[in-house]
Chains A and B, each alone.
Chain A
């Protein structure tokens, strides 16, 4: 069965390449104003006023890990994601996107409309990612690793329903996003009713590209800072410690209530074929009135960082264009090859220790648990639609000190075949 699935994936991988040979083969009658083409995606356009792209994504993963694998069934090949969607424009001021997973517990992904009267002030409404986290808000197709960092995956909010004002001003050197959301994103959404996540959330981010107008190698440098604040009902929090492959290393069975505050800083720089990115995120959950005597307790804090570097070894002009090889496979080239490395650390628990070490849900300070992971990866973009990725991950996992959990070192190997049209 696994072999059949793999064959289907490979077959699908060849289809867009064939289409690329004849990008405008199926043109509709001009007198109706319809135009069909396939550039990045198959799309249909009417009289230059309405444009609709059709998008689809299919990926298959192979995992081999010494750890229990929560994202798949152990060592296996698994067609893990099948996703379809449309995106496009209506007139010059309205953009939209609708995307959903096939066979997924939470099928709807981005479903939003963006109204863009001017570049400096746009309004986006619907379901989309909160403006928080560099890697989290980068599309999966543009990542150099199979999985986002655990810091992004666990501490950035992810998607939710809301409205956001955003734009880029000062000659595009300054970007801003500020929005109000129903909750604090799906990354911290509880799978079980016994845990709680943030309620109404305000989130904002500012990014600056101070050298954008220069011609130096620093022109691409971007730094940013983001904050988010949510109300937090009483309960055990759903922000938990999970390794890259989903191994639990910290379940904060402690009472929280009050506010959840997220802070993040980010930096990205892509000079030529190289790129570096780094991010620090801190999530703090209040524990108001949660002491045995009804006193306030130290906040539960999760914080983490990553530093990553990528290098387009061959086949593309720069790091930003790695997913669009200059000479695709079967078109006179072999695609592009990008290698990457990432070091990251995630720690959960109280910032300082007061009182004796205790695993009590109302302990003054929560014993910490954490993980450090190193990922080495390579991505071969056959063309702009098909990529083969491979990562090797080494994780050092440590549970909460009060639980006396043994430290664990886990090696994992991941391979992904990705087809995205």
Chain B
């Protein structure tokens, strides 16, 4: 009897080991495949199959978030009936569709390489095509969680749609990778009108500014109470308790670091953008009140080599008050200097621009939807290289000048 029991136990143990190996092995393989998809040393090939009727509708209604089903294929991996919609703000285009792919739109739990969503950025607002990729690399190298990106030739129904950036969606998968958790509250800055950190009053008013991407069905009072409290406190007098009160609702050091990197890259459409706060996510961990920023959509960086490092700070209720505190101002200037020195070290930023531009060169030349054509792209890349060479020195000089003031 004991021998029989022992044999059963051994069989059970072996079964558990085999099952565990299969599950873990599958997960590792999926993660590896995802890493390969975001390998920016090559231009990938992503193929979408969309019923021609749906494709017509997608192009005709590209300004709306109309979902249509699509089969998505990359290498040997294929997902059927993913949900695809037009995306972007200024970058929306009927001729070169900017696309968001939600693999779980029609089938709860469906994933592609373990992710629920992907973004195919049509790059139409960036004549150089590499601003977004290079900017995200800067954020990542400075320790800020940033979406992974690579490039792909995108074919829709076997027709070449153009060169796209494959962008990791900021969703549960991203949160798991960046923060090791998925159950927090994620909001996307929803651009309906300029917003510069004013106190908007009740919670529902913030729904027009920050769109929930998790916990969407929860009540506004739960979703937005900490955000309402944040901007209420932001707009109180910047006295000795301001920092403590505001710091309860936002990680101020992370905030000024994020903005410093944007400023270093001369971002025109970021937190201190020309049209108010734009292109970021707010994230609040589970059970927490403190928010942090997550970078998004960096196709308006590299605007001007000599743009001020305090440009539009005074227009923003949050940053103008935060940078009045000496330690936060020091953290801001430190982050600016780190960014500039990273860019300058070994000519890293220019090398990155040259490397990425070379990777996409052939695919870009074939992209007939590229605004301005290849000559414009070459000129834009030349400007980015000049920016990469000259901007770091300008920033370091400005940082020194700001430090000298105080």
> Which single member of A234, A356, A362, A402 contacts B69 (CB below 8 Å)?
A362
C-alpha gap A356/B104 in the complex (Å): 11
> In the complex where A355-B80, A358-B81 touch, is A292 in contact with B50 (Cβ < 8 A)?
yes
Binary contact readout B81-116 vs A (1 if CB under 8 angstroms, 0 otherwise): 101000000000000000000000111101000000
> In the complex where A357-B107, A361-B69, A404-B108 touch, is A293 in contact with B49 (Cβ < 8 A)?
yes
> Which single member of B81, B107, B110 contacts A292 (CB below 8 Å)?
B81
Binary contact readout B34-78 vs A (1 if CB under 8 angstroms, 0 otherwise): 000000000000000111111000000000000001110000000
Which among B50, B51, B70, B83 has the greatest number of chain A C-beta atoms within 10 A?
Answer: B51
Kindly state the interface size class of chain B when it binds its partner. Answer: 10 to 19
> In the complex where A292-B80, A355-B80 touch, is A360 in contact with B52 (Cβ < 8 A)?
no
> In the complex where A292-B69, A292-B70 touch, is A356 in contact with B49 (Cβ < 8 A)?
no
Contacts of A291 in B (CB 8 A): 51
7 contacts between A and B (CB under 8 A): A234-B53, A292-B81, A294-B51, A360-B105, A361-B69, A362-B51, A404-B108
Binary contact readout A348-360 vs B (1 if CB under 8 angstroms, 0 otherwise): 0000000111111
> In the complex where A292-B71, A292-B81, A361-B69 touch, is A356 in contact with B51 (Cβ < 8 A)?
no
Interface membership of A363, Cβ < 8 A: yes
C-alpha gap A290/B105 in the complex (Å): 18
Which among A234, A356, A360, A363 has the greatest number of chain B C-beta atoms within 10 A?
Answer: A360
Given contacts A255-B51, A363-B106, 10 further A-B contacts (CB under 8 A): A292-B54, A292-B69, A293-B71, A355-B80, A356-B80, A358-B106, A360-B81, A363-B69, A402-B107, A402-B108
Which among B71, B81, B105 has the greatest number of chain A C-beta atoms within 10 A?
Answer: B81
Interface membership of A285, Cβ < 8 A: no
Interface membership of A153, Cβ < 8 A: no
C-alpha gap A66/B81 in the complex (Å): 36
Kindly state the interface size class of chain A when it binds its partner. Answer: 10 to 19
Contacts of B110 in A (CB 8 A): 356, 358
A229-286, CB < 8 A from B: 234, 255
Q: What residue in chain A is nearest B107 (Cβ atoms)?
A: A358
Contacts of A360 in B (CB 8 A): 69, 81, 83, 105-107
C-alpha gap A308/B50 in the complex (Å): 47
Binary contact readout A276-315 vs B (1 if CB under 8 angstroms, 0 otherwise): 0000000000000011111000000000000000000000
> In the complex where A292-B50, A292-B71 touch, is A402 in contact with B106 (Cβ < 8 A)?
yes
> Which single member of B81, B108, B157 contacts A362 (CB below 8 Å)?
B81
Interface membership of A364, Cβ < 8 A: yes
Q: What residue in chain B is nearest A293 (Cβ atoms)?
A: B49
Contacts of B105 in A (CB 8 A): 360
Question: How distant is B332 from chain A, measured CB to nearest CB, in Å?
Answer: 48
A376-421, CB < 8 A from B: 402, 404
Contacts of A355 in B (CB 8 A): 80-81
Which among A290, A356, A402 has the greatest number of chain B C-beta atoms within 10 A?
Answer: A356
> Which single member of A290, A358, A402 contacts B51 (CB below 8 Å)?
A290
Binary contact readout B343-377 vs A (1 if CB under 8 angstroms, 0 otherwise): 00000000000000000000000000000000000
Q: Mostly helix, strand, loop or mixed at chain B's interface?
A: mixed
C-alpha gap A292/B81 in the complex (Å): 8
Contacts of A358 in B (CB 8 A): 80-81, 106-107, 110
Contacts of B107 in A (CB 8 A): 356-360, 402
C-alpha gap A361/B14 in the complex (Å): 43
C-alpha gap A106/B129 in the complex (Å): 59
C-alpha gap A363/B52 in the complex (Å): 16
Q: What residue in chain A is nearest B51 (Cβ atoms)?
A: A292
C-alpha gap A234/B71 in the complex (Å): 20
B132-152, CB < 8 A from A: none
Q: What residue in chain B is nearest A257 (Cβ atoms)?
A: B53
> Which single member of A255, A363, A404 contacts B81 (CB below 8 Å)?
A363
Contacts of A290 in B (CB 8 A): 51
Binary contact readout A318-359 vs B (1 if CB under 8 angstroms, 0 otherwise): 000000000000000000000000000000000000011111
Contacts of B53 in A (CB 8 A): 234, 255
Structural contact, B51 and A359, CB atoms closer than 8 A? no
Contacts of A362 in B (CB 8 A): 51, 54, 69, 81
C-alpha gap A290/B49 in the complex (Å): 12
Contacts of A255 in B (CB 8 A): 51, 53
C-alpha gap A359/B50 in the complex (Å): 16
Which among A255, A292, A356 has the greatest number of chain B C-beta atoms within 10 A?
Answer: A292
C-alpha gap A357/B81 in the complex (Å): 10
Contacts of A359 in B (CB 8 A): 106-107
Binary contact readout A361-379 vs B (1 if CB under 8 angstroms, 0 otherwise): 1111000000000000000
Contacts of B83 in A (CB 8 A): 360
Contacts of A404 in B (CB 8 A): 108
Question: How distant is B217 from chain A, measured CB to nearest CB, in Å?
Answer: 14
Question: How distant is B54 from chain A, measured CB to nearest CB, in Å?
Answer: 8
* Interface pairs A-B: 7 shortest CB-CB: A360-B81, A360-B106, A360-B69, A358-B107, A293-B49, A362-B69, A358-B81
> Which single member of A292, A361, A402 contacts B49 (CB below 8 Å)?
A292
Question: How distant is B156 from chain A, measured CB to nearest CB, in Å?
Answer: 11
Binary contact readout A84-107 vs B (1 if CB under 8 angstroms, 0 otherwise): 000000000000000000000000
Structural contact, B80 and A364, CB atoms closer than 8 A? yes
C-alpha gap A255/B52 in the complex (Å): 13
Contacts of A361 in B (CB 8 A): 69
Question: How distant is A350 from chain B, measured CB to nearest CB, in Å?
Answer: 13
Which among A255, A290, A293, A355 has the greatest number of chain B C-beta atoms within 10 A?
Answer: A293
C-alpha gap A290/B106 in the complex (Å): 16
Q: What residue in chain B is nearest A361 (Cβ atoms)?
A: B69
C-alpha gap A360/B107 in the complex (Å): 8
C-alpha gap A291/B105 in the complex (Å): 17
C-alpha gap A359/B71 in the complex (Å): 14
Question: How distant is A255 from chain B, measured CB to nearest CB, in Å?
Answer: 8
Contacts of B106 in A (CB 8 A): 358-360, 363, 402
C-alpha gap A294/B69 in the complex (Å): 12
Contacts of B71 in A (CB 8 A): 292-293
C-alpha gap A90/B53 in the complex (Å): 53
C-alpha gap A358/B70 in the complex (Å): 12
Which among A356, A361, A362, A402 has the greatest number of chain B C-beta atoms within 10 A?
Answer: A362
Which among B69, B70, B157 has the greatest number of chain A C-beta atoms within 10 A?
Answer: B69
C-alpha gap A363/B106 in the complex (Å): 9
C-alpha gap A50/B106 in the complex (Å): 63
C-alpha gap A362/B51 in the complex (Å): 9
Question: How distant is A168 from chain B, measured CB to nearest CB, in Å?
Answer: 47
Contacts of B50 in A (CB 8 A): 292
Q: What residue in chain B is nearest A356 (Cβ atoms)?
A: B107
Contacts of B49 in A (CB 8 A): 292-293
C-alpha gap A298/B236 in the complex (Å): 63
Contacts of A363 in B (CB 8 A): 69, 81, 106
Q: What residue in chain A is nearest B83 (Cβ atoms)?
A: A360
B1-54, CB < 8 A from A: 49-54
C-alpha gap A357/B71 in the complex (Å): 15
Contacts of A292 in B (CB 8 A): 49-51, 54, 69-71, 80-81
